[in-house]
Each structure stands twice: as structure tokens, then as C-alpha cells.
Structure 1
Amino acid sequence: MPVELIILVAAVIVSWLVFTALIKIVKTTVTTAIAVTAIVLILQIAFGIIPQDLWQQITQLPQIIWNLITGG
């Protein structure tokens, strides 16, 4: 086997692996984005919670957890 053919086969395999990994990452990202959007929309419609309220709770989450752990 010529060296060029081996390099070509290796390049095709590596390219396929990278492409497959990127497709999985994009699929996961889109799925997560849709889930987050659905949760925020449900919170808005069902409970009147605006995204700013949710974001405020998310940013305060470490402090809330710390207070639960320490009893403060």
C-alpha cells in the first residue's frame, strides 16, 4: 500500500469522527435550547414568572445552597 493511500484513509476516518462528534454536540445543544425555552415559556404562561425573575434566582442559587448547608 502506498503511503498516500494510508494517509488518505486515516484522514477520512479522522474527518468522519470529528464530523460525528460535531453533529452530536449540535444535537445536544439544540435539544437543551428547546428544553430551556419550553420551561421558561411554561413558567411565563402558567405562573407569570418572567425570565428576569428566573435569572435572579439562578444567580442567587450558590448563596441559597450555602445557606441551606450552613443553616444560615
Structure 2
Amino acid sequence: MPINLILLIAALLVSWLVFRWLFTVIKSSATTAISIAVIVLLLQLGFGIGPEKLWNEITNIPQTFQQLFKK
């Protein structure tokens, strides 16, 4: 079997695996981004909670847990 054929097959396999991994990462990222956008939109429309308030609460999570466990 010529070395060029082996190299071609290996390159195709590696390319396929990288493409498949990249597709999985992009799909997962897009799903997460859409989920976050829906949650923020629902909070804003349903309760009047804007992204700034949500971000402030996210950054205060460690302090909130500390206060809960102190009691």
C-alpha cells in the first residue's frame, strides 16, 4: 500500500474527527446562548428584571452562600 494513500486516509479521518468535534462545540454553545437569551428575556418581560440586576445577583452568589451558611 503506497504511503500517500495511507496519509490521505489518515488526513481524512483526522479532518472528520475535528469537524465532528467542532460541530458539537458550536451546537452546544449555540444551545446555551439561546437558553440564556430566553431566560433573560423572560425575566425582563415577566418580572421587569433587567440584565444588569441579573448580573449583579450572579456576582453576589458567593456572598449569598456565605450568608446562608453563617445562619
Category of TM-score, reference length = shorter chain:
over 0.9
**Structure 1 unpaired stretches of 5+:** none
Q: How does 1:12-27 map to 2 (within 5 A)?
A: 12-27=12-27
Runs of 4+ off more than 4 Å: none
Q: Could you say which residue in structure 2 is the equivalent of 1:49?
A: 49
Query: Per-residue deviation at 1:67?
Result: 2.4
Q: Could you say which residue in structure 1 is the equivalent of 2:2?
A: 2
Identity of aligned residues (%): 49
**Structure 2 unpaired stretches of 5+:** none
The RMSD of aligned alpha carbons is 1.0
Q: Could you say which residue in structure 2 is the equivalent of 1:40?
A: 40
Paired residue total: 71
Partner deviation per Cα, 1:9-33 (whole Å, 9 max, x = no partner) = 0010000000000001000011111
Query: Per-residue deviation at 1:64?
Result: 1.3
Structure 2 CA distance for aligned equivalents of residues 66 and 21 of structure 1: 39
